[in-house]
Amino acid sequence: MRLLIIGSLGGQVGAASRIAMQRGAKVIQAESIGQAMDVLRSGQGADVAMVDVAFDIEQLLTAMKAERITLPVVACGVETDSRAAVAAIKAGAKEYIPLPPDADLIAAVLEAVSADQDTLVYQDPAMDRVLQMAKKVAASPASVLVTGESGTGKELVARFLHRNSPRKDRPFVAVNCAAIPGELLESELFGHEKGAFTGAIARRLGKFEEANGGTLLLDEITEMDAKLQAKLLRAIQEKEVVRIGSNTPVKVDTRIVATSNRNMEETVKSGKFRDDLYFRLNVVKLVMPPLRERPKDIDVLALHFAKICAEENGLAYKPISAGAMAALKAHNWPGNVRELENTLHRAVLLAGGDEIDVESIMLMGTEGGAGAAPGTGGLVGRTVADVERDLIIDTLKHTLGNRTHAAKILGISIRTLRNKLNAYVQDGVTVPAPGAGELA
């Protein structure tokens, strides 16, 4: 993990950075917000920024947003400075780390915020065949295309390829092509020069240059605009990029891994994706099997998620009962591994006894009995806002007021959850109090 420290390395912030390095983080330090922005524009890259609350965190986040730099920010400050902690969270910081630093707390927060969960857990022969093939091609610089349904773990396989390649000590950089508007994706990939367009206040290197010597993951590549596909093809063929606003090509040595949840052949036939780019990417193709075709993985993944979710939430590990495991195995898993993880996260929080029983397993799409999802009949006539409010309040009750746990279950950011709760309070709605140790 690459950690950008913003602040002086003297004193407690320096101690925090040393702990992070001892836990395997590669630390880059900036003395000011301006210097930090220079680092981010330079292509050095970072997975998380840790910022001393003495700095204007809102200014940092505003500057990043203006230049479309997406990076989770963690604030840190002396333990007694609760006012600064609240201000940092309201400004948009994901978490707050009190100083003097606690080694385990720093490790846990950085891991949770960076979300670099790249452990592959499997037992089924179908998954083993995919990874055996991945091992064979990992050492090659050849492009790899990873296809499969949403939630099957395509990015994890991309990271697996990187870890097992000669490039493992170089950057792994991921770009979600579906999450960035077409007119901005070109700048994200290839970079730009100062003044190249409105808002280009300084030179910024793109993801190709940031991943130079390493691996670039182009996630959901079929969502890329056709015009940009042509520029991407040229960059891959010529092994060079041209920043927007420049005529000078820059040589890059970047291994490409692309993913898609679509049928690539049909997408090419429909004219939505260039056939020449498809053939360039499809040197090696790895097809991720859906979870319903990996039945032996349900057991090991369920146990894995039960353990890590208990650890993340500070709860004792509870085994999964035979009845609950049977319910998991009988489910079709349309959301694949991601759905299974969310199901176990809910179950860990809701389980009241000594084990995770069938009553705690809430499966979507089932009918009747334990684990059934509620029908929509009782929702007709109600507004979406009302239903959303009740869902959020009920989830908070289940998590005993813990905002962080509730946000994860709901699939929204902690900042979004806090904004909604503040609005509910202003409307006179009773909101469960924060869990122990949490900021409101």
Indicate the SS3 state at residue 380: coil
The CATH superfamily of 125-287 is: P-loop containing nucleotide triphosphate hydrolases (3.40.50.300)
Could you tell me the pLDDT band of residue 391, with boundaries at 50, 70 and 90? confident
Q: Do residues 72 and 94 make contact, with C-beta atoms less than 8 angstroms apart?
A: yes
Percentage of the chain modeled with pLDDT above 90: 49
pLDDT, position 368: 37
Q: Where in the chain is the domain with CATH 3.40.50.2300?
A: 2-114
Could you tell me the pLDDT band of residue 146, with boundaries at 50, 70 and 90? very high
pLDDT, position 401: 82
CATH match for 2-114 among 3.30.450.20, 3.40.33.10, 3.40.50.2300, 3.90.550.10 = 3.40.50.2300
CATH match for 291-360 among 1.10.1520.10, 1.20.1250.20, 2.40.10.330, 1.10.8.60 = 1.10.8.60
Could you tell me the pLDDT band of residue 375, with boundaries at 50, 70 and 90? very low
Comparing 374 with 143, which gets the higher pLDDT? Answer: 143
Mean pLDDT of the 77-88 span: 77
Q: Where in the chain is the domain with CATH 3.40.50.300?
A: 125-287
Q: Are strands 284-287 and 144-147 parallel, antiparallel or unpaired?
A: parallel
Which CATH topology does 377-426 take? Arc Repressor Mutant, subunit A (1.10.10)
Q: Is 374 left (phi over 0), alpha (psi -120 to 50) or beta?
A: beta
pTM: predicted TM-score of the whole model, two decimal places:
0.71
Mean pLDDT of the 293-316 span: 91
Q: What is the total residue count of the chain?
A: 440
**Residue burial 192-221, b: 16+ Cβ < 10 Å; e: rest:** bbeebeeebeebbbbbbbbbbebbbbbbbb
Q: Do residues 436 and 403 make contact, with C-beta atoms less than 8 angstroms apart?
A: no
Residue 186 has pLDDT above 90, yes or no: yes
Residue 70 has pLDDT above 90, yes or no: no
Q: Is 437 left (phi over 0), alpha (psi -120 to 50) or beta?
A: left
pLDDT, position 187: 92
Q: Where in the chain is the domain with CATH 1.10.8.60?
A: 291-360
pLDDT, position 116: 44
Using the structure block, give the residue that is written with the tokens 């965190």.
57
Residue 183 has pLDDT above 90, yes or no: no
Tell me the backbone φ, ψ of residue 255, rounded to 5 degrees. -85, 130
CA distances from 265 to 262, 270, 271 (A): 9, 9, 10
Q: Where in the chain is the domain with CATH 1.10.10.60?
A: 377-426
Could you tell me the pLDDT band of residue 378, with boundaries at 50, 70 and 90? low
Could you tell me the pLDDT band of residue 262, with boundaries at 50, 70 and 90? very high
Q: Treating both helix axes as pointing N-terminal to C-terminal, what angle do 103-114 and 11-22 enclose, rounded to 10 degrees?
A: 70
Instruction: Tell me which of 70-84, 205-219, 304-318 is least confident.
Output: 70-84
